[in-house]
Chain A
Amino acid sequence: MNPRVIRAVAIAMFKEFWRTPEALFWTYGFPILMMIGLGLAFQPRVPPPVPIAVVIGEAGAPFVELLQNTKELEVLQLDAAAADRALVRGRVGLLVRGTKAAPDLRLDPVRVESQIAQLHIERALHRAAAGGPIAVATAIEDRPGARYIDFLVPGLIGLNLMGACMWGIGFNLVMMRTQNLLRRLFVTPIRRGDFLIGYIVGRGVLVVPEAFVLAAIGMIFWDVPFRGSVLAMLAVVIVSGLAFTGLGLLCASRATTYEGIAGLMQTCQLPMWMLGGALFSNESFTGLMRWAADLVPLTHITNALRDVMLEPGGFAEVGWTLLGLGGFAVVCFTLALRLFRWH
């Protein structure tokens, strides 16, 4: 070890970093901003009640009243079909049937919030029975289309669309910019639009088959259902891909360093990972969180994917989503084209 060499290398590396404000901001400034943002969102407070569903007509009135009087629980009264849907979409943690004397709970214990709901219900029953014995029947939700895995697979397809379209397209574009290839193309008569469309098609074609491969894997290994329209699914995949591509292109339209493009992408993607309803449900969000969740495209994409996979959804069900995402894509592309720099 030669301390003089180590010192010289360290100084050289530090200076280079320090003199690239773009890299510096995204590496060190951005985490501070993120900390403040997330800290505000999750500062200590009373946790929100755990949502559960009571199946209308299948639960005794005194039992329902007991649950409604339990402040840790948020009780939704739904008919059987709506209750099933609320369970798979993660709007509620479990389904309640039966009476105080013979409660009947249905849940997928893979979901932590379902287990918490179960514990709260049991505690409420214990209190009501004043220490007397209680017998709770719990059924594990194992019907295809109602389990957490059924919720998860469309979510992962949505996440993959986001990752592939934004990283695959945005990042590579910045690389071509730093290597002067974009400049070289700029001095030819090529039109920006032609270049960008070709670039997107070339880098993006595999995204569409990939979504169907992921769906097929879910179907083959875990019996994840596919109940809706394949064409509608295709449309959702393509339009979602375009929406994320537009966003990726927008991020890449000016960035000239890898840190810059990576930072911009993360700024866009982090809220989607957290709020987009891909890995865990955002259905019971309220207030500011609800508003934010509705704002991110991934929420609408995972919803649409679940509509066509878990339910017999078609164009009627996902039409508005397609339109909205299409509009989002157009806005992103227009801005990206405006801002685009060849060098």
Chain B
Amino acid sequence: MNSPASAAPGVASSAIDGPAIELVGLRKTFRKGRDVTVAVNGLDLVVERGEVFGLLGPNGAGKTTTVEICEGLTAPDAGQVRVLGRQWRTGVDQEIRERIGVCLQETKFQEKATVREILGLFRAIFPGGRSIEEAIDLVSLGEKADSRTKGLSGGQRQRLAVATALLGRPELLFLDEPTTGLDPQSRRQLWDVVREYRAGGGTTVLTTHYMDEAQQLSDRVAIVDAGQVIALGTPAELIRSLGAEHFVEIEVDGFAGKIRPAELAALPAVEHCECEDARAVLTVDSVHTAVVAMERLLQERDVALLGLATRHATLEDVFVHLTGRHLREDGKS
């Protein structure tokens, strides 16, 4: 497989072009009658070349609007947008479009066209791009190459959409919620496609409201809420910013009168404690120190430990910490 970067037209100029995307003071308001929605509210962002950049945020955070501004689909009300060093609507739109690949949040391809036929259409639009077979291989749609799009599963349809985005060997790839609604296997398949694209030197901007997707796939993540970036960094940095990276959840036969929450919070390595009658969640920076001290305390006070689970902090916890809300309305992630 040829690497996207080596085939891209702008490799020599990348150094002078600067970062893949620069957004400064981006603002976009939608008005419909009396309804006024501030979708993007003064957003600043720099996406470096070669990285997978995740925009993580709940529904309605302004992710799609931000990406569509970058794709030239939506004009911002205010702010500066540079994509691959170029600005939209300055006479270079065609050039930018040749260098980016886009996967919209929702696209229905012609129902009666086959996978191969759809790719053939995009192939004609991007003359220097991959061959159809190469694109089919890239997203592992070989079995379905001659099936009509109507009969494809959600995951297959999404992979087809990604294949159309990759056909032109873009330098910059936009994926808007690429795995929303997909089964775990389809999600992992798509992640592999993105990793391979990154290995070839391509830059990816990915929006998602799945914290695991952002965490596993992204080099850097911007957490977006209400049209603004509220945190930015590598997934590890963001989690570290919580101060403690682990959670210890315990279940007991009852604290009633025997142990006060403050005593749990005062144990070594414990940063924070949320306590109920027979359950507690400890935020800790060292699991073994905290667990040993906690067990000793329980024994001393004659409280029976019924269950214990530890987990690593996630971006979800970062989001909850910053906003007091969960990424998804149902609270799971």
Complex partner residue of A180 from B71, B107, B122, CB under 8 angstroms: B107
Residue of B nearest to A184 (CB): B107
A179 interfacial contact with B, CB 8 Å: yes
Tell me whether B106 and A187 are in contact (CB under 8 A).
no
B134 interfacial contact with A, CB 8 Å: no
Tell me which of A183, A186, A188 has the highest count of chain B C-beta atoms within 10 A of its own C-beta.
Answer: A188
B242 to chain A, nearest CB (A): 37
Complex: A185 Cα to B110 Cα, angstroms: 12
B258 interfacial contact with A, CB 8 Å: no
**A interface footprint on B138-170 (CB within 8 Å = 1, 0 otherwise):** 000000000000000000000000001000100
Complex partner residue of B104 from A183, A190, A191, CB under 8 angstroms: A183
A343 interfacial contact with B, CB 8 Å: yes
Tell me whether B109 and A181 are in contact (CB under 8 A).
yes
B11-19, B93-101, B188-196, B269-277: which lies at the A interface?
Answer: B93-101
Residues of B within 8 A of A191 (CB): 94
Complex partner residue of B102 from A187, A190, A343, CB under 8 angstroms: A187
Known interface pairs A181-B108, A181-B110, A183-B107. Does A190 touch B125 (Cβ–Cβ under 8 Å)? yes
A189 interfacial contact with B, CB 8 Å: yes
Number of A-B contacts (CB under 8 A): 41
Tell me which of A181, A183, A189, A343 has the highest count of chain B C-beta atoms within 10 A of its own C-beta.
Answer: A189
Tell me whether A343 and B73 are in contact (CB under 8 A).
yes
Tell me whether A188 and B97 are in contact (CB under 8 A).
yes
Residues of A within 8 A of B97 (CB): 187-189
A181 to chain B, nearest CB (A): 6
Known interface pairs A188-B97, A189-B98. Does A183 touch B126 (Cβ–Cβ under 8 Å)? no
Complex: A191 Cα to B100 Cα, angstroms: 16
A64 to chain B, nearest CB (A): 65
Residues of chain B at interface, number, CB under 8 A: 19
Tell me whether B107 and A187 are in contact (CB under 8 A).
no
- Name the interface size band of chain A: 10 to 19
Residue of B nearest to A187 (CB): B102
Interface of A is mostly: loop
Residues of B within 8 A of A187 (CB): 71-73, 97, 100, 102, 104
A306 to chain B, nearest CB (A): 38
Tell me whether B122 and A183 are in contact (CB under 8 A).
no
Residues of A within 8 A of B164 (CB): 184
Residues of A within 8 A of B110 (CB): 181
Complex: A187 Cα to B107 Cα, angstroms: 12
Tell me whether A181 and B125 are in contact (CB under 8 A).
no
Tell me whether B126 and A189 are in contact (CB under 8 A).
yes
Residues of A within 8 A of B98 (CB): 189
Complex: A184 Cα to B168 Cα, angstroms: 14
Tell me whether A180 and B104 are in contact (CB under 8 A).
yes
Complex: A343 Cα to B107 Cα, angstroms: 12
Complex partner residue of A188 from B106, B108, B109, B125, CB under 8 angstroms: B125
B88 to chain A, nearest CB (A): 11
Complex partner residue of B126 from A180, A184, A188, CB under 8 angstroms: A188
Residue of A nearest to B98 (CB): A189
Residues of B within 8 A of A190 (CB): 125
Q: Which residues in window 102-144 of B have CB below 8 A to A?
A: 102, 104, 106-110, 122, 125-126
Complex: A169 Cα to B108 Cα, angstroms: 19
Complex: A181 Cα to B97 Cα, angstroms: 16
Residue of A nearest to B122 (CB): A188
Residue of B nearest to A186 (CB): B73
Known interface pairs A183-B73, A184-B102. Does A189 touch B107 (Cβ–Cβ under 8 Å)? no
Residues of B within 8 A of A183 (CB): 73, 104, 107
With contacts A181-B107, A183-B104 known, what are 16 further pairs, Cβ within 8 A? A180-B104, A180-B107, A181-B108, A181-B109, A184-B104, A184-B107, A185-B125, A187-B73, A187-B104, A188-B97, A188-B102, A188-B168, A189-B94, A189-B97, A189-B98, A191-B94
List B residues at the A interface (Cβ < 8 Å): 71-73, 94, 97-98, 100, 102, 104, 106-110, 122, 125-126, 164, 168
Could you write out 24 A-B pairs with CB less than 8 Å apart? A179-B107, A179-B108, A180-B104, A180-B106, A181-B108, A181-B110, A183-B73, A183-B107, A184-B104, A184-B107, A185-B125, A186-B73, A187-B73, A187-B97, A187-B100, A187-B102, A187-B104, A188-B122, A188-B168, A189-B94, A189-B97, A189-B126, A189-B168, A191-B94
- Listed from nearest, the 9 A-B pairs whose CB atoms lie closest are A179-B108, A187-B102, A189-B97, A184-B107, A189-B98, A180-B107, A188-B125, A190-B125, A187-B71
